[in-house]
Structure 1
């Protein structure tokens, strides 16, 4: 019976990450060739800090978008409660609240989503520029 053949599994990122020079204590030696990408690949504390910063920025954008949409959608029932004549109004036989819900909120969602995507991509682009900076 023969023993199963051993296979080494590695990635290109692993080889690149191990090539960074190290001090006697194991910490990477920062030189002119060391970049933030190395910190991210090595999963150092600095790399983790930058990753957390990116996540926080993305979360902040999502929270602002959600809050803006929630305020507008929440104010509609409040407006109809405070001004009941608006709730009874009809446009071409269709109740005004239905029209506002059908035609008013969809453009809001689309605009909020488009704004959110633009902001998220800007933050990611800035992060990539920071990582790729020599």
Structure 2
């Protein structure tokens, strides 16, 4: 090779440039294909719903389950509203709006959890 001649050019390429580009999978695809990441997303939804259900169950145990203890420790049978003792009013009338309210709160919170999960899944 003569001193004036430049060496021949050599092209060096990375093997990554010839590989086809990977597409990023969406969360929906991860869940549908049941990948490890999809399982993490589903487990987080189930865990949040379970936490909510346990909290509601604890509230019911405290609110309704404590009534027999209240009746045992106090003399509410002596208190009467009309011809009916107060204990019957509590069991027959007051408990049902409490149950309805707890159920309403549970459904609203459950829908909020699912809406947050849906927003996460549909995020690009």
* TM-score range for the pair, normalised by the shorter chain length: 0.7 to 0.9
Which stretches of structure 1, 4 residues or longer, exceed 4 Å deviation after superposition?
none
- Which residue of the partner structure matches residue 129 of structure 1? 119
Consecutive unaligned residues of structure 1, counting only runs of 5 or more, are: 1-28
Consecutive unaligned residues of structure 2, counting only runs of 5 or more, are: 1-21
Distance 2:23 2:70 in 1: 60
Distance 1:108 1:49 in 2: 35
Alpha-carbon deviation of 1:30?
4.7
Distance 2:50 2:79 in 1: 40
Q: Which residue of the other structure, out of 102, 105, 108, is the alignment partner of 1:112?
A: 102
TM-score, scaled to structure 1: 0.73
Q: Which residue of the other structure, out of 52, 62, 70, is the alignment partner of 1:71?
A: 62
Q: Which residue of the other structure, out of 27, 31, 42, is the alignment partner of 1:36?
A: 27
Q: Which residue of the other structure, out of 103, 108, 116, is the alignment partner of 2:93?
A: 103
Alpha-carbon deviation of 1:110?
0.3
- Which residue of the partner structure matches residue 11 of structure 2? none
RMSD over aligned Cα, in angstroms? 1.1
1:88 to 1:30, Cα distance in 2 relative to 1, 3 A? farther
Which of the pair has more CA radius of gyration?
A: 2
- Which residue of the partner structure matches residue 14 of structure 2? none
- Which residue of the partner structure matches residue 82 of structure 1? 73
Alpha-carbon deviation of 1:72?
1.1
* Length, aligned pairs only: 103
Deviations 1:64-93 (A, max 9, x none): 111101111122111111112x12221100
